[in-house]
């Protein structure tokens, strides 16, 4: 029987090592904060009451952002992404300013990535979503037909979306066009929540929302944060680290991989990250990790780089650098998704690992 496998772990990225400090270390794991993921929160605070105040705020905010960016469900009193999609071809929808901010950020990265990152591909992504859902417990899974994917692709593109920042409205002019912010919303939420916690006085913490990791401040006693990169093993669901990376204070690290949401079709892995050119699951690497300051940017970039060759990915990173955005990346390959022959790599546990220049001195094997 073929099964849809959904990896509900917070270990796409694994937090490595604790430290002794005069502050107390507290942790919390939540499964009911939305975004179809597990959220873990580790903080160093004066006492448990202070930690509970921070963690309560974090959970409340995650639920609020989940409702704002939800494309599947209606939430009372909220105009969200679903509301925008439901009113496509009908009327503009007045939305929260943070939806406007997210959409504008997505539009900017659509341009910077030469349209490789595209949240207007909701019609295409919905076909794949429906097929993955149908594959669950189905001995004869299918894939969307080429004709249906090509027809859906006709109803994509930012030319159909009007954002009125002054009125805080969004309008889609084609009823068959829909927005899907799944590759950006969680990272955006993590970044906003981290910033708000910093404003509240939190100085030492980690938020991990299903692999979207954001450091808050430094580790106590001036130790260096280290984050482990998970082995992309489909069968064992291993949470062991392939390697670790030294991370600067208040940085973000996000991984996109083919082992999160997928099903098998004719012995081929059909995962959830769709190449906007082929309209099929991207076939470049097993996983791509991005390290940069902003979690929202890291979220978008990890998905985008996963749908690109290594060389195109380096070109995009250089383009961002010209825009004043410093980001580094790590690619994981194996025999099923091999690297280019001319790309230098580290061989670790049967995987080829390639890193951008900014990470070469930060790897801990």
Known binding residue 299? Answer is yes
Q: Tens-digit pLDDT profile for the chain (365 aa)? A: 333 333 333 333 444 444 445 899 999 999 999 999 999 999 999 999 999 999 999 999 999 999 999 999 999 999 999 999 999 999 999 999 999 999 999 999 999 999 999 999 999 999 999 999 999 889 899 999 999 999 999 999 999 999 999 999 999 999 999 999 999 999 999 999 999 999 999 999 999 999 899 999 998 877 889 999 988 876 655 567 899 999 999 999 999 999 878 999 998 999 999 999 999 999 999 999 999 999 999 999 999 999 999 999 999 999 999 999 999 999 999 999 999 989 999 999 999 999 999 999 999 97
pLDDT of residue 115: 97
**First vs last Cα of the chain: how many Å apart?**
37
What are the structural domains, with CATH classification, of the chain?
A: 9-66+183-364 (3.10.520.10), 73-172 (1.10.3980.10)
**Residue in this structure with the two tokens 């996000």, named with its chain if needed:** 254
Known binding residue 303? Answer is yes
Residue 318's φ and ψ, nearest 5 degrees, are -70, -35
Beta-strand runs (E) in the chain: 5-6, 13-16, 24-30, 39-45, 93-94, 161-164, 169-172, 204-209, 212-217, 225-230, 241-247, 252-257, 261-265, 268-271, 287-292, 327-333, 346-348, 351-355, 363-364
| CA angle, 315 then 316 then 322, to 5° | 90
């Amino acid at each position: 029987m073929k099964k849809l496998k959904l990896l509900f772990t917070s270990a796409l990225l694994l937090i490595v090592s604790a430290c002794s400090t005069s502050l107390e270390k507290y942790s919390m794991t939540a499964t009911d904060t939305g975004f179809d993921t597990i959220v873990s929160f580790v903080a160093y605070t004066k006492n448990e009451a202070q930690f509970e105040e921070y963690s309560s705020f974090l959970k409340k905010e995650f639920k609020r952002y989940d409702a704002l960016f939800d494309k599947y469900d209606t939430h009372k009193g909220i105009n969200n992404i679903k509301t925008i999609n439901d009113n496509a071809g009908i009327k503009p929808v007045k939305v929260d300013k943070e939806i406007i901010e997210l959409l504008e950020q997505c539009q900017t990265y659509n341009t910077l990535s030469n349209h490789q990152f595209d949240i207007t591909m909701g019609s295409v992504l919905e076909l794949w979503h429906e097929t993955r859902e149908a594959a669950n417990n189905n001995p004869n899974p299918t894939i969307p037909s080429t004709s249906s994917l090509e027809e859906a692709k006709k109803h994509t593109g930012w030319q159909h979306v009007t954002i009125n920042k002054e009125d805080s409205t969004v309008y889609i002019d084609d009823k068959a066009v829909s927005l899907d912010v799944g590759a950006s919303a969680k990272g955006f939420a993590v970044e906003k929540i981290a910033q708000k916690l910093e404003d509240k006085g939190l100085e030492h913490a980690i938020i991990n929302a299903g692999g979207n990791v954001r450091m808050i401040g430094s580790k106590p006693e001036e130790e260096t944060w280290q984050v482990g990169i998970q082995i992309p093993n489909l069968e064992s669901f291993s949470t062991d680290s392939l390697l670790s990376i030294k991370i600067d204070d208040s940085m973000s690290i996000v991984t996109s991989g083919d082992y999160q949401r997928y099903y098998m079709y004719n012995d081929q892995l059909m995962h959830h990250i769709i190449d906007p050119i082929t309209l099929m699951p991207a076939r470049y690497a097993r996983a791509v990790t991005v390290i940069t300051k902003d979690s929202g940017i890291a979220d978008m970039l990890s998905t985008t780089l996963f749908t690109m060759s290594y060389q195109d990915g380096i070109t995009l990173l250089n383009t961002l650098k010209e825009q004043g955005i410093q980001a580094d990346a790590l690619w994981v390959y194996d025999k099923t998704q091999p690297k280019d022959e001319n790309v230098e790599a580290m061989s670790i546990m049967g995987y080829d690992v390639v890193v951008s220049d900014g990470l070469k001195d930060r790897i801990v094997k």
